[in-house]
Amino acid sequence: MSSLVTTYQLLDGKRCGDALRVDIATGAAEVKAKRGRAPHLAAVLVGNDGASKTYVESKVKACESVGFRSSLIRMPESTTEDELLARIKQLNKDKDLDGFIVQLPLPSHIDPEKVTLAISPDKDVDGFHPENIGRMVLGLDCFLPATPSGIVELLRFYHIETAGKHAVVVGRSHIVGTPMSILLSRNAYPGNCTVSLAHSRSKNLAELTRQADILVAAVGRPEMITANMVKEGAVVVDVGIHRIPDASKKSGFRLVGDVKFDEVAPKCSWIAPVPGGVGPMTITSLLLNTLKASRHAFSS
């Protein structure tokens, strides 16, 4: 069988994110000039989860890179649900702050749903509050969840055709798969896809993913998407990020996604690598949401 595609191109999230961050920095400077203070994001980190600490630190660093203010609020593992809810109440009222996030996962004694509901929708720059999710479904102005919104921006940056394409999203999480399926089906660009949302109970997964013109892998299982699951010429977006032990690396591990890159990439027209694909875009979307929140605060 002859191959239709001989080379693939990378959906480079670092390049796209850097380009968007230039505009975000300009926007931040404008807000500062009008309001006398820069956009301000706070991140709440409860406990000592290593990966969460790394993510939060990169969010704080990204804020600095575009001229935002940022605050890292660390709370001990022993923090009670009531204590966290009380802190959120304070942050909701804090006029010095445009938006905040509570990094997930939380310690098991804290209900993440209660936490999400407690965050004021107009400071919910993660876009997780039901009011923001509902507004997204209706196509109303809202804070979009960062990862799917970052993927949309990545598709836009590389002018990927989406109208009429079959998009298969694997994974139905509240923060990635489900909102991704909604954004790809909206009457907009990027959008207008026919969307299938696959999950752990889907039958004949490989048969379904092989029909995808656009395949978004958000399963959370290392290298689960293999070459036999991908159509020639597909656009593949890998949302997963996993540390795999690797003795040949100085760090002792390497990062892989949900897609087995080496065997899948040669079949693709475009593919978002791990690392350097979706990851930088997620943080860029958080910055975009924070800038938007700071503009709202100014106009209201």
**Active-site residue numbers?**
59, 103, 126
Size of the residue set binding ligand GUN (CB under 6 A): 7
Residue 2: Cβ-neighbour burial (10 angstroms; 0-12, 13-18, 19+): exposed
Give yes or no for residue 146 binding ligand GUN (CB under 6 A). yes
d(CA 86, CA 68) in angstroms, rounded, equals: 25
Which tokens in the block code for residue 140? 């109303």
Give yes or no for residue 126 binding ligand GUN (CB under 6 A). yes
Q: List, in order, residues 6 or more apart from 260 with CB less than 8 Å away.
A: 223, 224, 225, 226, 227
Give yes or no for residue 60 binding ligand GUN (CB under 6 A). no
User: Which CB atom, from 127 or from 231, has the smaller least distance to ligand GUN?
Assistant: 127
Give yes or no for residue 178 binding ligand GUN (CB under 6 A). no
Residue 253 pairs in a beta bridge with 245
User: Which CB atom, from 107 or from 233, has the smaller least distance to ligand GUN?
Assistant: 107
User: Which CB atom, from 101 or from 198, has the smaller least distance to ligand GUN?
Assistant: 101
Q: Where are the alpha helices (DSSP H) in the chain?
A: 13-35, 50-65, 81-93, 112-118, 130-138, 146-157, 177-185, 205-209, 261-264, 278-299
The distance of closest approach from Cβ of residue 285 to ligand GUN in the complex, given in angstroms and rounded to an integer, is 9
The distance of closest approach from Cβ of residue 125 to ligand GUN in the complex, given in angstroms and rounded to an integer, is 9
Q: Which stretch binds ligand GUN (CB under 6 A): 4-12, 70-78, 97-105, 195-203?
A: 97-105
The distance of closest approach from Cβ of residue 45 to ligand GUN in the complex, given in angstroms and rounded to an integer, is 10
d(CA 124, CA 98) in angstroms, rounded, equals: 9
Residues that bind ligand GUN (CB under 6 A): 101-104, 126, 146, 175
